[in-house]
Amino acid sequence: MAAPAAVAPGAPHASSGFGFLEAMQQGGVVAWATLGILVFMSIGSWYIFFVKMIEQQKIIKEGRRARTVFWQAPNLREGANKLDKNGAYRQIVDDALIAQEQHNKLTDPIDQHDWMINSLARSQGAITAKLSSGLAFLATTGSTAPFVGLFGTVVGIYRALIKIGAAGQASISAVAGPVGEALIMTALGLVVAVPAVMQYNWLMRRNKGIGEELARFANDVHGYMMSGGSVRPPAATARPGAPAAAKPAGTTTAAGTGGAATSTARP
């Protein structure tokens, strides 16, 4: 009988068969289907995150422009032309102008103040709904991905128990593949869920700040229209870069109930 061939020193060992692909192949259709679901959820969550981040950044940039060049225009129409055509702030101004025209056509008119408030609220709601679209997928991914991974874990443990029962003893070679597959599914579920939760919370926090800025801008537009253009934001009434008027030395100002009283100290 021929003796077994000796293994030369330094020769590569045979594959152990306990790698990622080997574990997935042992898992069969269930393992690959679970992996496919987790990969789809991960790709979808990252895609929504980057798309929403770009949309938010665009609105934030437009808000900076609205606080500067918009209120320097002589009227709302010219100010709106300085904003992005399809931007959120432009939409608020356009909806306000349309609402003002529609109020004059009502056969049974209501108070213009209430009409404008409702119209601006609808405009803000439409913008907020657009910003929030897709965030439900992130919330769903963050809450269900661990359970999808847990499903793969349960299937892997079940297969390990079946192999133990068939072999009659718990040998490492019999259960290493199913147990490795189970651990992989648990880790993948967490890898998908944790970023999705962080992305959802971060986008929601930015949406809240954007919503507050839009509400402030809509309130300024409402005040401008209800006052015939005499009421503007404080930042828009002052000329940019104008130096503050210096007070004469020895002059003090005291505010009274009926107005402001000025007195000058004499030597």
Supply the Cα-derived Rg of the chain in whole angstroms: 33
Q: How far apart are CA 248 and CA 196, in angstroms?
A: 60
Q: Which two tokens stand for residue 178?
A: 């199913």
- Residue 17 Ramachandran class (φ > 0 left, ψ -120 to 50 alpha, else beta): left
**pLDDT for 14-52, tens place per residue?**
444 556 666 666 667 777 888 889 999 999 999 999 999
Helix residue spans in the chain (DSSP H): 20-68, 76-81, 88-103, 112-132, 135-167, 172-226, 234-237
pLDDT tens, position by position, 135-184: 999 999 999 999 998 888 887 777 777 777 766 665 666 566 666 677 78
Tell me the pTM.
Answer: 0.70
Q: Helix (H, G, I), strand (E, B), or coil: what is residue 253?
A: strand
Average pLDDT over residues 227-246: 58
**Positive or negative: CA dihedral 183, 141, 32, 50:** negative
Pair of tokens at residue 116: 């404008």
What average pLDDT does the structure give for the chain?
76
